[in-house]
A and B are shown apart, each in its own frame.
Chain A
Amino acid sequence: MVKRSDLFGWLAVSPLLLVLIPFFVVPFLVILAASFMESDGFGGMIQTFTLDNYIGVFRSRLTFDLYYETAKFAVITWAFATVIGFWVSYFLVFHVKNQLLAIGLFLLCTVPFWTSNIIRMISWIPLLGKEGLINQGLMGAGIIDQPLAFLLFSNFAVIVAYVHQLTIFMIVPIFNSLSKIDKSLIEAALDAGSSRFDILRYIVLPMAKSGIALGSIFVLSIVMGDFFVVKVMSGGGSASVVGALYEDVGVLQYPSAAASAVILTLIVVAVVFSILRVVDIRREIAR
């Protein structure tokens, strides 16, 4: 016997389920199934049950190196995006007195998103390249006499591209959580004798926690799941987890690629869960 309220609840979530089940749950199950199969070496799969793909992934020294590289990019990008994102949001919310101007500047932050990811990334090349703006400028000013090679096709360039792409994912949730802080709280803190730094430390930062956590989930999961930026901006010099997986697909090793994909998914889920353990986002949002 189904209660009316239960029925209504199911109806309310059904559009979401209609999207999630065919486009997320089913493909994931297919990949999960594939990860336990054997490759015939020509792009076909033999339907057995084997753990060899997983054992292969875990036995490989390469796997750990790839995860280390990807984690490094993720953590460095996260650190820059968090600091910049927090600072931009803090400035917009607490220093721009005119609210209309603040919203205008906030929208300005989203302007780069009017064009595609790829174009935004490629547009770094004329800036960072050997003949690029920065090198020419520095050489013209006589500061250097050789072009700086590390600017493009390097880990540096990868980080620059990631930070450029992903800081907005920090700005939006942090801006949102800072906007919810009642200005009279700041005044009350001043009244109690706080310095600006005390206010930042004891009031603003704790109240921005949910925004930082949300932004962290976006940034970390996007970097962990990306290979294109690493491929283009490092000029092929750096590898990533998904990059390796993509190459497996390229040589028709579907089962081992599937196993890598399952492991990566589990790791990202673990990262997201550990962030949610630190910050109770549901409670923070409801506040």
Chain B
Amino acid sequence: MTMQTTSSGRGAIELAGVVKSYDGGETTAVDGINLKIPDGAYCCVLGPSGCGKSTILRMIAGHEDPTHGEILIGGENVVGLPPVKRRTAMMFQSYALFPHLNVRDNIAYALRVRGMSRSERYRRAEEMMATVQLGEFAERLPGQLSGGQQQRVALARAAITEPRVLLLDEPLSALDEHLRIQMRTELATMQKNLGITFVHVTHTQMEAIALADLVVVMERGKIKQAGPAREVYIAPRDRYVAEFMGGQNVLRGKVRTINGVRATMVGRGEEPIEVAFDGRHRLEKDETIEIAVRRDDIELLRPEKGKVPAGKAAVSSRIVGIEYQGNFVKVMLDATDDVAFIAFVPERRFFQDPMKVGEVVYAAWDVEHAHLMIEP
């Protein structure tokens, strides 16, 4: 069998109405997914464990078949085809390196089962080992490598067949914090060099926004939001996405007054909070709405220093905790009932006039910066 080159393969993926249920429909892991991933994109599927993200990956890889729906890679329906025919390659969560084969044979394995001669496949493995800087470890067994090196072997083993799509199942979860950040950068570089589509499943939002062109947030078998990392981060669709992506405070309230593109809502306290909205929303009086306010957009003001400036909205709340984080100070407030309302105050600004736990302050933000969420 001859190897095809990367350029001939189009790695665009499309999922259309994909459903996966087990036990004759009793449990549904994936519940009607529609998703388009462009060729050459780095897509991160993000969600808590059990949300169906790994199932999606395994269905794209061909290790599981969808109960309903179609999976298209490069425009052709691949449901029922084995992984080789799909020209996908998967990198497994615990790497699944063959423990009895050394690094070179692990990397060359896919070429071996394709019937390539020993000298040819070793030459290709040698090239690949140079790319991932494993040359000196060729004779080692996986058990003799560090976590980071094992990850590189797994990556090299998956990439050697020049797949059009590389599927990564929680590739960084087995590594310690420090190595995870280093390997994250290596993954990004690798993806740029290979120029193929990466689909990366993770439960860590930091990983997703650092790497992805396209972030897909999932909950219980459904896609909650899909879009560029920045869009998902700054404009979450609902409370779930906002809380999962982090960095946001969610405030819930009832609409009190509506005036053009401004409205006021009343939350837990009796003070009205000004909300900006655009043509996408139709608000009605007494409707429950939720807004997301970024933690780093919040300014803390002392009530005795006067009123909240025009164009700003604010809630009055008590400081319940202060954590020094180095480049900023994390201030926890009791403005919301369930989750803490958090402000990230730049380090210099905070220490110009430090506040103390127990003080009552205004947490204020620019009305334009708060994001009105589509679904409360």
Contacts and interface: CB of A to CB of B under 8 A. Distances in A.
Interface in B68-106: 82-84, 88-90, 92-94, 96-100
A202 B113 contact: yes
A208 B83 CA distance: 26
A193 B160 CA distance: 12
A188 B83 contact: no
Given A184-B92, A187-B63, A287-B143, A192 B161 contact: yes
Interface in A196-214: 198, 202-203, 206-207
Given A206-B100, A207-B99, A191 B63 contact: yes
Interface in B12-59: none
Contacts of A193: 82-84, 110, 113-114, 161
B95 to A, nearest CB: 8
B94 A192 contact: no
B313 interface: no
Interface residues of A, number: 18
B109 A192 contact: yes
Given A193-B161, A207-B100, A287-B143, A188 B90 contact: yes
Contact of A190 (B82, B93, B112): B82
Tell me which of A182, A192, A195 has the highest count of chain B C-beta atoms within 10 A of its own C-beta. Answer: A192
Nearest to B58: A187
A195 B113 contact: yes
A198 B113 CA distance: 7
A192 B99 contact: no
Contact of A191 (B61, B100, B112): B61
A185 B84 contact: no
Contacts of A195: 113
Contacts of A207: 99-100
B157 interface: yes
A195 to B, nearest CB: 7
A207 B141 CA distance: 14
A202 B112 contact: yes
Given A189-B109, A191-B89, A182 B96 contact: yes
A203 B114 CA distance: 15
A94 to B, nearest CB: 15
The A interface, classified by DSSP as helix, strand, loop or mixed, is helix
Interface string B160-203: 01000000000000000000000000000000000000000000
Nearest to A183: B96
A150 B157 CA distance: 55
Which size bracket describes the interface of B in this complex?
20 to 34
Contacts of A47: none
B84 to A, nearest CB: 4
Contact of B92 (A188, A194, A202): A188
A190 B109 CA distance: 11
A221 B317 CA distance: 82
B98 A194 contact: no
A184 B161 CA distance: 19
Contacts of A206: 100
Contact of A184 (B96, B113, B143, B157): B96
Given A193-B84, A193-B110, A195-B113, A203 B98 contact: yes
A268 to B, nearest CB: 29
Contacts of A184: 92-94, 96
25 contacts: A182-B96, A184-B92, A184-B93, A185-B96, A187-B63, A187-B90, A187-B96, A188-B90, A188-B98, A189-B98, A189-B109, A189-B113, A190-B83, A191-B61, A191-B89, A191-B158, A192-B110, A192-B161, A193-B82, A193-B83, A193-B161, A202-B98, A202-B109, A202-B112, A202-B113
The 6 closest A-B pairs by CB, nearest first: A192-B110, A193-B84, A188-B96, A184-B96, A194-B113, A198-B113
Interface of A: 182, 184-185, 187-195, 198, 202-203, 206-207, 287
